[in-house]
Each structure stands twice: as structure tokens, then as C-alpha cells.
Structure 1
Amino acid sequence: MNINEYKNRRQELMDILSEGSMAILPAAPMQLRNCDVHYPYRQDSNFYYLTGFPEPQALAVIVPQREQGQYLLFCREKNQNKEALDGNIIGLEDACEIYGADDAFPITDIDDIIPGLMESCRCLYYPMGYYEEFDDKIIEWINQLREHVRSGKVAPFEMVSVDHILHEMRLQKTDAEIQALRAAADVSILAHKRAMQFCRPDLYEYELEAEITYELLRNGCRAEAFPTSVAGGKNACILHYTENKDILNNGDLVLIDAGAEINHYASDISRTFPVNGHFSKPQKTLYELVLKAQRAAIGKIYPGNQWNDPYNAAIVVITEGLKDLGLLVGKVDILIEEEAYKRFYTDHIGHWLGMDVHDPGNYKIDDVWRYLEPGMVMTVEPGLYIPAAEDISEEWWNIGIRIEDNVLITVGGHEVLTSELPKTVIEIEALMARKAF
């Protein structure tokens, strides 16, 4: 992403910060397994949103109106011995030239420099509670200044959570961010298509997971946005199932929830399809009900509507359909009022999508559902999960279905970023008939 994208974000933040304030944001710490083996490193999203800087052991300091430079970046210095272990290190010079810092300092100098910057700071903006070790460091610096108050040093007398401000900024995507989300969606679509075409009875769930991982990697995606879920049969009724260890049986459905992360932006797609390539009559009936509900929900996505409007539209379709099938009994309006549908439709309609798969941002403001605005991106994912129970006809038992797409709110309405992935019964069966592997 262009360096000006991050510069514009920092300027927007500085325009929001109160007079005489500063913001401090730490990078995500390294995560270790067995003391010496690194998990794949992922930068803190708020830190990356403002800096584009990918390395650990870094700190961003933003000081509006500072004449010597408003954006300071503390990071590791280049060191041949260290780079042999950790790979190439960006270093101080490139932190300025490539990543746009006004000044760059060694991360080892924070104790010498940060307290001095804080002396003239009335209000400190900081993401308290995310990284305990750095929380302690902030408190240490403040206490250090308080101890020298008689010499004229003044500690910040107010601390404000900067993450709330950044979460609101992140909610409406720029053109560059939308392009990144498109790229993640496009790769995810290829992975889901591959899984559909590879699927056949007697495979294990993890074999489909492997095909998804392969397709992501071969298209330059080094990270999944979240752990892939491949849930066959009764497992499809388990939300957030990720064990992926059972056999895919002939006649069952399989529900896949998978998405790529590219350049720190996520995709999140769910598709449900028959293991043998052909929907049974009960499976088709329920599937088309979920698809109808999703289409009703997407139809309610446009500026001026509220966050909950798509959910309410899906609820009406789901409840009416379940009543028609005999899975619910009673008047539709009463069933909705009593939330009877929640026995089979347990989740909400979706979530914000962006740098995190569950991107931050309030869904209500002052206890009122938020109004949708251009640039927001959300998932739309209604589902039905039918348990095996004595009061339910056996033909419906253990059928779990979810259909999930990524939707951008536009000035004129919406755009489904994942529309190229088949989701009608006819489209899915046709794709699965063209076995490519």
C-alpha cells in the first residue's frame, strides 16, 4: 500500500487528538512456541494501520505540532548477527525513507527518549490493556515523571484509549483498502472452488483443508485470516468447528468457512455443498431457504439503513420457511417476537470485515443500531443448524448450512465482493461435476 495511505491516516488521527497530546502505539510482540520456534508473526492491526511497519520490537509515537517531526518510529537497528537469526531487519534509515517516519531511533533508547516527550504532554492516547509488558512500561514512565515534579517535570494528567478512535477510522475503507479486500476475496474464491471440485466421499475433512491451504499458498497468500473450518455431516451444526478430523460421508453436506489474508486484509467466506456433488431433496429445501434469507438480507444493505435491518429481513424469511416446513408452529409474528427461530438460527447476520476478520467498530451508538455508510464492509452469513431431536422429522437431522459473502456498502447500495463464487444449487452441482483433480 502506498506510503501516503499511512501518512493520511496519521494526519487524520492528529486532527482528532486534543491539543497538547501525544499517542503511543506498540507493535505486537513476538509469539514463541517451545521457547525457540516462532509462530508466523502478525503485526498489531492498529499499529500497522498507522505505520505499515511489519516488524516486532517497534513503537510508534505521534506528537502533533512537534516542530522536529510529528511521527517518531522506534525499531531494531541493523545487525548482521541478529539478521542471521531473524532475517532481514528494516533498520532506522529505511524506517524514515520507506515507511515515512520523521525520525527513527533504536528501540533500546525508549527509556531515554519517551519520558522526555511525555513531559509536555497533557493527554496520552494509548491502547491500554493489549500488551501487559508495555502497559507496565507506560506506568513506569508516568511514575518516573511524577517523582520529579518538583524539578518542573509534569506527567500526563489524562490517559485516553486510542483504539476507540482508530476503530472508528478503520470502519470506513479507502479505495486502497477496498482493493486489498478484493484481492483477499479473489484468492479465497479460488480456494473454495478448488475444495468443491476436489471433494468426494471418504475423504477426511483435513484433506479439503489441505486443498484450501495449497490454493492460498500458490496464489501468494502466506496467512489465513482465521483457522479454516471444514465441517462434514453433524459437524456442520457446530459453530466455529476447526478439528477437521472426520470422514466425509456419502450423502452428507460439508460446510467450509475459510478466508485468505493478503497484505493484512481479510476475506471470510462460507459455502455449504454436498459431499457427493448432489443435494438431496431435504438438503436442497433447507439450502434454498438459507439462500433466500441471505438474498433478503443483502437487499437491505445500503446507506441509511441500520446494521440490524439485514438481520431482521433474514429472520422473517427463515421463520416463514421453517413454519412452512413444520419445524416451527404458530403465527410468524409471534414466532419472531418469541425468537423461536433461534433454535435453528443461532448466530447474527454477520460482522465488520477489514484488517481483522472480525474488524472493530461499534454496532450501536448510544444504544441505537448504527446506520450503514459507504465504505463499510461486512459479512452476510445466515445459517440453519438442525439438531437430531424427537420432535423433528428425521429427514432434517444434522443438516447444517451457512452461506457467507463479503459485502461493501457503496454510495448507491452495495457490492458483493465474493459474488464470483457459486452459491445456487445449480451452480454448485455444475462446478462439482467438473472434477479437476
Structure 2
Amino acid sequence: MTNNRPGAALGAHYPAHVEKLKARHDRALDVAGASHAVIFAGAPKLKFLDDYYYAFTANPHFASWLPLTGNPHCYLVYTPGETPILVYFQEKDYWHAPPAPPSGYWADQFDIRIVHELEDIPKHLPAERDKCILIGEIDDEAQACGIERVNPNSALNQLHYARARKTAYELDCLRAASVRGAHGHHAAQNAFREGKSEYDIHLDYCRAVDHVEKELPYNNIIALNEHAAILHYQHLSREVPATSRSFLIDAGAAVNGYASDITRTYS
């Protein structure tokens, strides 16, 4: 199988991307009347009456700064004129493998503070909590670390408007995600021609894009025959149809939190 994992080449435009994010957050802070932006990556959500978590999805505002889409409990602190701080949570327990030490094309853009306990995070945030805004989903008061201004519209409106215009780095990620998705669509088309079930077509797609299901940007739509008439068909039949007459696939791939979204039909 072709190796379609994006490499360090994505780093070529990354420093300029960080500078653009700084300028955007400068404006957002000015409008909000704040001095520091604290961006929370997010936290896993526990399933009801269970000890297992739903797949984690990082806050998109956090992911726009850092290619850390699978790292919960991290914080990005931006203060105009200063190097952004990454509070990198590296939990150590015997249940899970800890996150790898920070490295890669992005690491030298940040003042990285590694913490192993959630209780140690607040000491790395600005002391003047009243001059901070927090951007992120807060499910527990402790996650706000004493910051009262959470997701102020004045700042979010500025940032959301700016996100519509992608930087060169973001375009690099989107192109890489499209290339990765194209590998999957070719594999899915071949699986359809070979007469495979929806389930097996889905598995071939995941192998080709090098994703497990939780890494996909959205649930694949793999629809054979009359199933394609259902706009958001959500099942993956294990049964092989007597005759595979048509095939609709709506599936994407992700690179550093940026996704492709491709739909094709075959007969």
C-alpha cells in the first residue's frame, strides 16, 4: 500500500501560520478587552453508566494552533508580544500509554511546559485571571482554572470570521487530506468492483487512508444499490448483495485536524 502519511514538509509554512494566528488573536483580545487568550483542547467525555470514554475531538481553535488532535487536557496560552505557551498534559498511569514527548516541525514555536497532574496546570496560566478569556468546552469548573470569561462572543466572532480565510499551512493540510482521501476512494471503488459488502468496502477505505474509525472526520457513508437513496445512510451491511448495481460513497480523511470531504457514485 502507498504510504500517504504527511511528513515534515507541512512545516514549511507553519511559522507564518503561527504569526497569522497571533495577529488574529491580537485583534480578538483587543475587541474583548482582555490581555490573554487561554485555549483549552478539551476533555474526553465518559459514557453514561460506563467507565469508557467517547472518542476525543479537540477544540478546533486549539487544533488551529497545534497539530495535536488527540491530546486532551492541554492548554494554549497566548499573550501579545510573548511566545505562546503550551501546557502539555502527559498523564502517567498504568492504564494508558502516555502521550509522546512534544516534537516535530511545530515544537520550536512554543514555550512548552509538560505537566503530569491536572492539579499542576493552573500554575502555568496567567496569574491575572480577570484579564484572561478562555476558549473551549468546559464541562467541569476546574477546567476553567478560575477564568470567568468563557467563550465571549466578542472574541469568538472575530476568530470565526478570520477562520474562513485559510493560511498557506492550512491549505497544505487540506491538500494532504484530499490526497489521503483520494487513496481511500480508489480503494473503495476497487472493492465495489470486486463485489464486496458495504462493511468490507469501509474496511478497505480505512486501510487506504491509514485511519481507524475514530480518526475519520465523519462517519463514512457506504451505500450499495437502494441504500444510496437515503441521504445520510448510516449502516454498513455485512451482507453481499446478489447484484451490486450502484455504489455511493461519501467519505473523507484528516490531516492535523483539517479534513477532506469527497462524494462519488459508481455503477
Instruction: Quickly name the TM-score band, shorter chain normalised.
Output: 0.7 to 0.9
Shift of 1:210: 1.6
Question: Would you say the 8 A contact 2:37–2:135 is kept in 1?
Answer: no
1:14 is aligned to: 25
Q: Provide the rounded CA distance (Å) in 2 between the counterparts of 1:101 and 1:63.
A: 12
Question: Would you say the 8 A contact 1:28–1:43 is kept in 2?
Answer: yes
Opposite residue 97 of structure 2, the aligned amino acid is: D
Shift of 1:161: 5.3
Shift of 1:114: 4.2
| TM-score, normalisation: structure 1 | 0.48
Question: Would you say the 8 A contact 1:59–1:75 is kept in 2?
Answer: yes
Opposite residue 135 of structure 2, the aligned amino acid is: P
1:266-415 equivalences under 5 Å are 266-274=259-267
Question: Would you say the 8 A contact 1:23–1:61 is kept in 2?
Answer: yes
Question: Would you say the 8 A contact 1:222–1:262 is kept in 2?
Answer: no
2:138 is aligned to: 131
1:109 is aligned to: 120
Give the alignment's Cα RMSD to 1 decimal. Answer: 3.6
1:256 is aligned to: 249
Residue 192 to residue 12, structure 1, CA distance change in 2 (3 Å): same
Question: Would you say the 8 A contact 1:30–1:56 is kept in 2?
Answer: yes
Shift of 1:197: 2.2
In structure 2, the residue corresponding to 1:196 is in which secondary structure? helix
Q: Provide the rounded CA distance (Å) in 2 between the counterparts of 1:190 and 1:141.
A: 45
* Equivalent of residue 101 in structure 2, options 72, 79, 90: 90
1:136-151 equivalences under 5 Å are 137-138=143-144, 140-142=146-148
1:45 is aligned to: 60
* Equivalent of residue 64 in structure 1, options 55, 74, 80: 80
Q: Provide the rounded CA distance (Å) in 1 between the counterparts of 2:265 and 2:194.
A: 15
Question: Would you say the 8 A contact 1:195–1:212 is kept in 2?
Answer: yes
**Unaligned ranges ≥5, structure 2:** 1-9
Q: Give the count of matched residue pairs.
A: 246
- Are 1:195 and 2:210 matched, yes or no? no
Residue 127 to residue 249, structure 1, CA distance change in 2 (3 Å): farther
1:184 is aligned to: 177
What is the CA deviation profile of residues 188-233 of structure 1, one whole-angstrom value per residue up to 9, with x for unaligned ones?
Answer: 2222122222224864211211221121129x99832211111122
Residue 74 to residue 202, structure 1, CA distance change in 2 (3 Å): closer
Residue 201 to residue 215, structure 1, CA distance change in 2 (3 Å): closer
What is the CA deviation profile of residues 271-305 of structure 1, one whole-angstrom value per residue up to 9, with x for unaligned ones?
Answer: 1111xxxxxxxxxxxxxxxxxxxxxxxxxxxxxxx
2:42 is aligned to: 28
Opposite residue 76 of structure 1, the aligned amino acid is: F
| TM-score, normalisation: structure 2 | 0.74
| % identity of equivalent residues | 22
What is the CA deviation profile of residues 357-394 of structure 1, one whole-angstrom value per residue up to 9, with x for unaligned ones?
Answer: xxxxxxxxxxxxxxxxxxxxxxxxxxxxxxxxxxxxxx
Q: Provide the rounded CA distance (Å) in 2 between the counterparts of 1:32 and 1:165.
A: 32
Q: Provide the rounded CA distance (Å) in 2 between the counterparts of 1:29 and 1:221.
A: 19
* Structure with the larger RCO, 1 or 2 (CA within 8 Å, 6+ apart): 2
Opposite residue 134 of structure 2, the aligned amino acid is: Y
Residue 198 to residue 159, structure 1, CA distance change in 2 (3 Å): closer
Larger radius of gyration: 1
